[in-house]
Amino acid sequence: MTVTSGRVLSPASRPGVPLRHWPRYVRLSLVEARPVVQIVFLMRFAVGAAFFAQKTVDAPQLAAGVLAWWLAVVTAYLVNGVLDVKEDRANGSTRPIARGDLPERTAAFLTAAAAAGSLLLSLFVPGLTVWVALFLLLGWLYSTPPFPAKRWSSTCAVTVFGLGWTSFAAGATSVGGELSPAGLVFAAAMSAWMALVGAVVKDLGDVEGDAIGGRRTVAVRYGAGRARAVAVAGSLFVGIGAVLAALTWAPLTLAGTVPLTFGAVCVVAQIVRTARVADGDKRTRRSAYRVFMRTQYAANIIMMLALVLHGPA
C-alpha cells in the first residue's frame, strides 16, 4: 500500500499495476458483474438462438456470439458497479467494489476492455454488432450521469426491457436468423417480466441507498406501499397477458409463459405476506425479487427444453 497526501492507495489505484494482481482483479470484476445475472442473460441469448436454430449451426460463429454477449453483459454490470458505489455501500452491498476489494479505477479499465472485446468478437457474427452496440448503449444509459435511466422507475423499465429484448434478438442473429413470431411473443413476455416486475421489486430492498444516491424511483418518491402496488399490478399484467398472447399467436410458448403466471402469483403472494414487516427487514424486502429471479430462470429453462424437444418455432 502507498500513502499519498494522506490517502491510502491500493496497488491497482496506481499506474503500472503489477501483472500478478490482474488475475485477482479480473476474478473480482466477474463477481462484481453478478454471475447469477450473467447466467440468465446468456439463457435469454440461448433461447433466442433456439427459436431460430436449424439443423446445421456454424459452431465457431455461435461461440463468438456467446462470448461477445457475455462480455457485453459483464460490461453493463461493471459500469453499474463502478457508478453505484455510493448507493451500494448505503444498501450494505458486499460486492467487491462496495467493500473496497476492487478499486474503481481498475474496474473501469476492465470495463473498457470487456466492451472492446465484445465489439471485436461481434464483428465475426454477421448482424450481431448492431445488437451488441445497442446493448452496451442501454447499459451505459442505465447507469451514467447526468441523467441515468436508473434514477426513475419509468426510464429504468424501458431500459431494462431493451436489455432483455436485445438478448433474445442477439441469440437468433448468432445462428443466422431473426426471431420467429413465437420468439417475438416470448421475448416480449420475458422482457416485460424484467421491466414491470423485476425492476420494481428490486427497489423494495434498496430504498435507503437509492434515496442517498439521488434516485427518484416509485419506492423513494411515494413509499414502499405504492411500489408494492405497482409490482402487484405489473406481475398480474405480465402473468395474464403473456399466456393470452401465447394462446393467440404462439401456443408453443405456453411452455415458457405459464411459469410466468405461476411466478406472478408467487410474487404477489410474497409481497402481500411480507408487506407488514418489509419496511424493517432488508432480506424480507428482497424476497419478492428472489421469486422474480427464480421465475425467469424456470421460464427460460422450460422454454428451452420445449424448443429442443419440439424444434424451432
CB distance 66 to 42 below 8 Å: yes
CA dist 27 to 129, 161, 198, Å? Answer: 26, 28, 27
Q: Hey, which residues does 216 pair with through a beta bridge?
A: 152
Q: Which candidate, 194, 180, 176, places its Cα nearest to that of 253?
A: 180
Give the mean model confidence (pLDDT) for residues 177-189. 93
Question: Which pLDDT score, from 0 to 100, does residue 15 have?
Answer: 44
> pLDDT band at residue 12, thresholds of 50, 70 and 90?
very low
Residue 131 grid coordinates: 445488437
Tell me how far apart the alpha carbons of residues 132 and 125 are, in angstroms, rounded to a whole number: 11
> pLDDT band at residue 22, thresholds of 50, 70 and 90?
confident
Residue 287 scores a pLDDT above 70: yes
Looking at this protein, which amino acid is placed at residue 250?
Answer: A
Give the mean model confidence (pLDDT) for residues 285-297. 91
Taking only the tens place, the pLDDT of each residue in 106-121 is: 999 999 999 999 999 9
Taking only the tens place, the pLDDT of each residue in 194-236 is: 999 999 988 887 777 777 777 788 888 888 889 899 999 999 9
Q: Provide φ and ψ at 181, rounded to 5°.
A: -55, -40
Q: Provide φ and ψ at 86, rounded to 5°.
A: -60, -50
Domains and CATH numbers, the chain: 23-179 (1.10.357.140), 180-313 (no CATH)
Residue 281 scores a pLDDT above 70: no
Question: Which pLDDT score, from 0 to 100, does residue 280 have?
Answer: 56
Taking only the tens place, the pLDDT of each residue in 131-173 is: 999 999 999 999 998 899 989 999 999 999 999 999 999 999 9
DSSP, res 210: H
Lowest mean pLDDT among 14-18, 26-30, 41-45, 152-156: 14-18
Give the mean model confidence (pLDDT) for residues 22-26. 91
Beta-carbon count within 10 A of 23 CB:
9
Higher pLDDT, 262 or 313: 262
Beta-carbon count within 10 A of 86 CB:
13
> pLDDT band at residue 183, thresholds of 50, 70 and 90?
very high
CA dist 24 to 19, 21, 110, 262, 297, Å? Answer: 10, 6, 12, 41, 29
- Report the mean per-residue pLDDT for the chain: 88
Question: Which pLDDT score, from 0 to 100, does residue 279 have?
Answer: 54
Give the mean model confidence (pLDDT) for residues 257-275. 93
Residue 54 scores a pLDDT above 80: no
Residue 292 scores a pLDDT above 60: yes
Give the mean model confidence (pLDDT) for residues 263-292. 82
> pLDDT band at residue 282, thresholds of 50, 70 and 90?
low
Question: Which pLDDT score, from 0 to 100, does residue 277 have?
Answer: 64
Residue 283 scores a pLDDT above 60: yes
**β-strands 2-4, 7-9 pairing:** antiparallel
Tell me how far apart the alpha carbons of residues 259 and 120 are, in angstroms, rounded to a whole number: 37
Question: Which pLDDT score, from 0 to 100, does residue 254 have?
Answer: 97
